[in-house]
Structure 1
Amino acid sequence: MSDLMKDIQYVKGVGPKKAYKLNKLGIFTLKDLVFYFPRQYEDRNNLKKIAQLENEDKATIKAIVIGVTTYNPKKGMTLTKVDVKDETGFAKLVFFNQDYVKNTFKSGDTILVFGKVKKEFKNIEITSCEVEHLSNAPKNTCKIMPIYPLTFGVTNKELISMIKMVLSDENLKIKEYMPKRIIEKYKLCSIDYAIRNIHSPSSKESLKIALYRIVFEEFLILQLGLFMFKNGNTESKGIKFERHKILTDIINSLPFKLTGAQNRALNEIIEDMSSIKVMNRLVQGDVGSGKTVVALLSLANCVLNGYQGALMAPTEILAEQHYVSLTETLKGFDMNVELLVGSLTKKQKENVLEKVKNKEVDILIGTHALIEDKVEFSKLGLVITDEQHRFGVRQRSKLSEKGQNPDILVMTATPIPRTLALILYGDLDISIIDELPPGRQPIETIAVDKGKRDRAYNNLVRREVEKGRQVYIVCPLVEESEAIEAKAAVELVEELKLEFFSDLRVGLLHGKMKSKEKENIMKSFKNKEIDILVSTTVIEVGVNVPNATLMIIENAERFGLAQLHQLRGRVGRGIHKSYCILIYASKSDVCRQRMSIMEQTNDGFKISEKDLEIRGPGEFFGTRQHGLPELKVANIFKHMKILKIAQQEARYIIGEDHGLYSFENNLLKREIFDKFEYAVKEISLN
């Protein structure tokens, strides 16, 4: 049997250089290669006559070569046109800078051509041509062609060729891991059939059968892994907390009344805490909905029961805001709150750690510093992670391991559509805070093309600053590189100072700055020592400056809708009317549609549904970061029926065989462990 774990560089014709490029696609082994699925297909089966071709068609024709002409329209450019005909008409095949093609055609040759049609009146040109002579067995025409996601230096033809070579090995049989009972129950094809037909479908029907197997499998493996992971945390006995009577006093001491949604979420949390089972709850709340207060009250209830609480935030700015908020609210209730962040001195850290160990600290707020080995709690009862999608599975579990089965609460201001939340968290209990506190004004959002950029700066920014307000200007997301984003931000600051705001105080914040620098800049902005803060997306989460009333987002089309909504949530936090201006450069319909959504609604849940529709679950929520398997083929909108069937089956399997210990489930279990790369150590392999 061919070894699927063989390194990709040893495949014939690959080698180290090509392997390095394939690695960028996540292809390291033969198994990665054969499980690297097409993103779409081109049906090149339907032969058309020349007279049937329409403008913008992608079509296959069978034609006879009449003649070949080569031009040099300008220096350094070659244009080759091949005249062809069939019984219904004439067309020209067009090749740019491919001088060699003129030698591959002879008058009278019968050829098959697949390409893109450009039709103006009776003139028909076909570009991006795939040409095959009829004497050969067709490889790239007259069939359903897979189209793969690519990277620089790897072509679609190369991937097709590599996969074909691997799958043509007579010794290769992809071993079945799905239990026979499930295959028969849901009429699934074998994994071997699915892999071969997903890459080289013999017909539309065989492709449909193959795709059904893969979609069902992706959902089933994801659900089973999530159920195992969650139940692994809840099987052990947890802490049984009571709803302490002093909690009501703390609620009554708040300078505002809790909203109905906050009360509902808090009651759900307290009910979980009162149970002997470990709480595992996700609290979703839109920007400004008041999740922090709910977290604070949950921590207070934990402390009133004699335990310690921990709150982990992704940034020092956010951790510090939580610290200030908790300290002020719990003043007079005899609770000691401490802050543990990277910028503390060694002596300060040691002092905090000692107090935590000796139970002199009731609530510890911090960043990743909380999960360091040196941090020892005396009696940890509740662990909260804020903006939890910023933390991987391992980081979250490392914090909860610092106690004896503490309750777990995860919070996010990225509203996840309930459908996606169910996929990502299986049966995790979900509380939704979908009501804004009274007084929060909706942010007026206006999308403008880059031609109106100068007007936005000259008019709107000056107007707000003259009123004594402050402004955020967010730099475009260039690519996943802090260094490049930092450079873009620095250049934007220079441009703004030079062309627009030489008389105003302009500050700069980006990811390459040291923590202390970021802290100082944010403090200056909060203290109104900076009029305009130019920033990259580091201000996306949690920053609270009530006097900031205008945000301008450059190249808004480069951000996801959920991220634009998160950024926009940095303004509108005070009593003044706030605005968000989205400047976009793209003229595409998709861009206009996305900008329109942002203008029409401030509802994060509606926005996230649209974002998910446009971008798909993997990119929307960064499932890889969780250590969760990527959905390569399955799509929750297109395949909702299959998702529900797979969820139902997963519940049945877990109910019958919680740890998948039975012989028939063993291979499936190994596949789950292979896919859940980072969560593996959270699930017992016994």
Structure 2
Amino acid sequence: MADAQPLTLRELDSIGVDRLRGVGERKLAALEAFGISSVLDLLTFYPRRWVDRTNEARVSDLEPGKEALVLVSVRSVSKRITRNRKTMVTAVVGDGSGRLTVTFFNQPWREKQLHEGLNISLFGKPDVFRGGLQMTNPIVDLIGDRTGRIVPIYPQSEKVALNTWEIAGFVENALERCTARGIADPVPWPVQQRLGLLDRTDALRLIHLPDTMSDQSRARRRLAFDELFRVQTVLVARKRALERDSLGIRHEVDGELVARLREALPYELTGAQTRVIAEIEADLAKPHPMHRLLQGDVGAGKTLVAVSAMLTAVQGGHQAALMAPTEVLAEQHATGIRRLLDGVTVPDPGNLFGDRPLRIELLTNRITGSDRRDVLAGLADGTVDIAIGTHALIQEGVSFHSLGVVVVDEQHRFGVEQRAALRDKAGGAVPDVLVMTATPIPRTAAMTVYGDLDVSVLDELPPGRTPISTHWANGPLDEAAVWADVRAEVGEGRQAYVVCPLIGESEKLELASAEETYERLSAGELHGLRLALLHGRMPSAEKEAIMDRFRAGALDVLVATTIIEVGVDVPNATVMVILDADRLGIAQLHQLRGRVGRGVHASRCWLVTTPDPDAEGANPRIEALVK
């Protein structure tokens, strides 16, 4: 008889967990409560974390105020109702080194979950109460009584009494039953060897039942590879299907309009811009739609590349659209692109004078009444050449006569659905899509996240752009130097931003708020300078008025929330101060830093943090940006 083929994931999905040893009606119901009905569900129900018994704390080692993980057994459990009608469950737990009191508020089900002799893990921050150690509302995991150096901790529920070793036992039984045939692996053995990957069977065993933490890490790496591989396969298949089945526009890329743009530029294109424009034009000349990601640092000249692509559509009799995530950014683009294309006309053989004006329109939710009707009519009849807007471009009632090129700015604010919605309004053939982002994305990550897009990178700044120096101010003495630098720059006629993570004060988070910071700086460190406050809760008209004053130089310092992360272009601003910088992600910090360094003057970014006594001075995100 021929050897049986390895088990496929589809076969594993067809085998019910009720066929496993020890799974009766009660256990089956408990597993199904977790969404586990098949062997595949069970094998892919991964532990949420793993406990290395050699590194766990003992009760006698616990210190007040320091989070710790302990493995203990329950000695006693009691419940009472407090004076304010709250339920309080108290458990006394311990190990060989001592005892600990654990208190749960408003979790009455803990009385039934915990019972004498039960082995559990607790993760929390102990404190001192009536002379003894106590944990309040810690994270609890049911461990069971099985031993092993590495303990897998599975997701658990207050309603399901299924301890971690019971789940591990079912997994072990499932893997034993798979041993004879093995589990099919889509990654060929030579590729596994080249990439240093476990095979799928070993990965599934070691993610649940590792002998060492190194085993667990290797298993996670292989299973993460599988997930990314599946995502990439779907995205590439989608891209190939779009190329195969979608009718695109074969653009004429050597037209007069794009040539006029380049002749009108007061500067030469960088080598990177020339290369990327050539990559885009090669896509535009093909019969199937372009789907390309344009990645470039702030100030690298992405907008000019996008305008070149849009004019390629216009010179062929089509339209172009640029969609931005915020009204501020859309308005900024409209102003900048109109300025860039001022005086550029469209060759028109049917026109008495040989040329016609280039019509650029802005469409956001602030455009209303007759102005909105005029823009919508122009989009529908083709007299609008370039539309710049927000999500308003994909709302009901918006249609294009012949949309040839779509540019989406700041992709991390849009999903595939929004891109598709704009594409669906094209009015015929599928338009070419160019996605722009200033967020630094490693090429391998870009292939994963944007697998349906080809990638172009602008890795060169235009002449005259000065690099931004980044400094870390960690503590009051450093912060004093920050405000001195702001005053010095304003004294030279420059401007500055101060960014705060919150609008108003927070009782839960000790973070600088924009309102409190504005009041403090106005009366203190920056007293006498012209300050203004900007945040997202302000009416749009008020926000725009403040931005207009800042652009015009009527303000020295703009105190704002992260609303200015994108869309603000003031070349005279040379200092960016980011308060509580350690509370923001590295991509957001990079975007904020890019608000300065947009002119010819040297610019600085200050990352201000409060010293953390437990961090020993290290902060990898801040240090990476400073480098």
The TM-score normalised by the length of structure 2 is 0.71
Deviations 1:297-333 (A, max 9, x none): 1111110111111111111222122212222232231
Residue of structure 1 aligned with 2:150, choices 123, 144, 149 = 144
Q: 1:33, 1:492 → 2: CA distance?
A: 52
1:443 and 2:452 are equivalent in the alignment: no
Q: 1:47, 1:340 → 2: CA distance?
A: 59
**Residue 182 of structure 1: SS of its match in structure 2?**
coil
Asked whether the 8 Å contact 1:285–1:413 carries over to 2, the reply is yes
**Residue 476 of structure 1: SS of its match in structure 2?**
coil
Asked whether the 8 Å contact 1:541–1:567 carries over to 2, the reply is yes
Asked whether the 8 Å contact 2:325–2:413 carries over to 1, the reply is yes
The match for 1:217 is: 226
Query: What aligned pairs does 1:281-680 form with structure 2 within 5 A after superposition?
Result: 281-330=292-341, 331-333=343-345, 334-403=357-426, 404-426=429-451, 428-452=453-477, 454-456=479-481, 458-476=483-501, 488-587=513-612, 588=615, 591-600=618-627
Asked whether the 8 Å contact 1:47–1:61 carries over to 2, the reply is yes
Q: What amino acid is aligned across from residue 240 of structure 1 in structure 2? A: R
Q: What amino acid is aligned across from residue 241 of structure 2 in structure 1? A: G
Asked whether the 8 Å contact 1:226–1:424 carries over to 2, the reply is no
Asked whether the 8 Å contact 2:503–2:514 carries over to 1, the reply is no
Distance 1:500-1:372 versus aligned 2 partners, 3 A rule? same
Q: What amino acid is aligned across from residue 288 of structure 2 in structure 1? A: K
Deviations 1:442-487 (A, max 9, x none): 11221111222551354122222222221100103699x9x99999
Deviation at 1:393? 0.9
The match for 2:5 is: none
Deviation at 1:170? 13
Asked whether the 8 Å contact 1:112–1:141 carries over to 2, the reply is no
Distance 1:280-1:112 versus aligned 2 partners, 3 A rule? closer
**Residue 383 of structure 2: SS of its match in structure 1?**
coil
Deviations 1:47-88 (A, max 9, x none): 999xxxxxx9x99999xxxxxxxxxxxxxxx9x99996xxxx
The match for 1:237 is: 247
Q: 1:318, 1:252 → 2: CA distance?
A: 27
Distance 1:323-1:28 versus aligned 2 partners, 3 A rule? farther
**Residue 542 of structure 1: SS of its match in structure 2?**
coil
**Residue 579 of structure 1: SS of its match in structure 2?**
strand
Deviation at 1:339? 0.7
Residue of structure 2 aligned with 1:260, choices 255, 263, 271 = 271
Asked whether the 8 Å contact 1:471–1:549 carries over to 2, the reply is yes
Asked whether the 8 Å contact 2:468–2:597 carries over to 1, the reply is yes
Asked whether the 8 Å contact 1:486–1:512 carries over to 2, the reply is no
Asked whether the 8 Å contact 2:152–2:164 carries over to 1, the reply is no
Q: What amino acid is aligned across from residue 325 of structure 1 in structure 2? A: G
Further displaced range: 307-316 or 137-146: 137-146
Asked whether the 8 Å contact 1:244–1:304 carries over to 2, the reply is no
Distance 1:127-1:113 versus aligned 2 partners, 3 A rule? farther
The match for 2:53 is: 44
The match for 1:161 is: 163
Deviation at 1:141? 5.3
State the identity %: 41
Asked whether the 8 Å contact 1:309–1:383 carries over to 2, the reply is yes
Further displaced range: 255-264 or 200-209: 200-209
Asked whether the 8 Å contact 2:512–2:579 carries over to 1, the reply is no
Q: 2:407, 2:239 → 1: CA distance?
A: 16
Distance 1:478-1:195 versus aligned 2 partners, 3 A rule? farther
**Which is helix-richer, 1 or 2?**
1
Deviations 1:481-512 (A, max 9, x none): 9x999992222222222333343322122233
Deviation at 1:214? 2.5
**Residue 329 of structure 2: SS of its match in structure 1?**
helix
Q: 2:313, 2:521 → 1: CA distance?
A: 49
Q: 2:401, 2:280 → 1: CA distance?
A: 23
Q: What amino acid is aligned across from residue 409 of structure 1 in structure 2? A: L
Distance 1:93-1:241 versus aligned 2 partners, 3 A rule? same
Q: 2:93, 2:42 → 1: CA distance?
A: 37
Q: What amino acid is aligned across from residue 144 of structure 1 in structure 2? A: I
Deviation at 1:30? 7.9
Deviations 1:652-686 (A, max 9, x none): xxxxxxxxxxxxxxxxxxxxxxxxxxxxxxxxxxx
The match for 2:24 is: none
Q: 1:266, 1:477 → 2: CA distance?
A: 40
Q: 1:400, 1:410 → 2: CA distance?
A: 13
**Residue 148 of structure 2: SS of its match in structure 1?**
coil
Q: What amino acid is aligned across from residue 561 of structure 1 in structure 2? A: I
Q: What amino acid is aligned across from residue 290 of structure 1 in structure 2? A: G
Deviation at 1:289? 0.3
**Residue 583 of structure 1: SS of its match in structure 2?**
strand
Q: 1:556, 1:147 → 2: CA distance?
A: 34
Asked whether the 8 Å contact 2:185–2:199 carries over to 1, the reply is no
Deviation at 1:270? 0.7
What RMSD over aligned residues (CA atoms) do the two structures have, in Å? 4.9
Query: What aligned pairs does 1:265-284 form with structure 2 within 5 A after superposition?
Result: 265-284=276-295
1:248 and 2:259 are equivalent in the alignment: yes
Work out which structure has the larger RCO, using CA pairs closer than 8 Å and 6 or more positions apart in sequence.
Answer: 1
Structure 1: gaps spanning 5 or more residues: 4-9, 20-26, 50-55, 63-77, 85-91, 100-109, 117-125, 129-136, 601-686
The TM-score normalised by the length of structure 1 is 0.65
Q: 2:563, 2:93 → 1: CA distance?
A: 52
Q: 1:570, 1:462 → 2: CA distance?
A: 19
Deviations 1:626-663 (A, max 9, x none): xxxxxxxxxxxxxxxxxxxxxxxxxxxxxxxxxxxxxx
Q: 2:172, 2:598 → 1: CA distance?
A: 65
Further displaced range: 561-570 or 29-38: 29-38
Deviations 1:77-121 (A, max 9, x none): x9x99996xxxxxxx54747789xxxxxxxxxx9999999xxxxx
1:182 and 2:186 are equivalent in the alignment: yes
Q: What amino acid is aligned across from residue 151 of structure 2 in structure 1? A: M
Deviation at 1:142? 3.2
Q: What amino acid is aligned across from residue 152 of structure 2 in structure 1? A: P
**Residue 460 of structure 2: SS of its match in structure 1?**
coil
Distance 1:457-1:208 versus aligned 2 partners, 3 A rule? closer
Q: 2:450, 2:391 → 1: CA distance?
A: 22
Further displaced range: 494-503 or 258-267: 494-503
Distance 1:222-1:477 versus aligned 2 partners, 3 A rule? farther
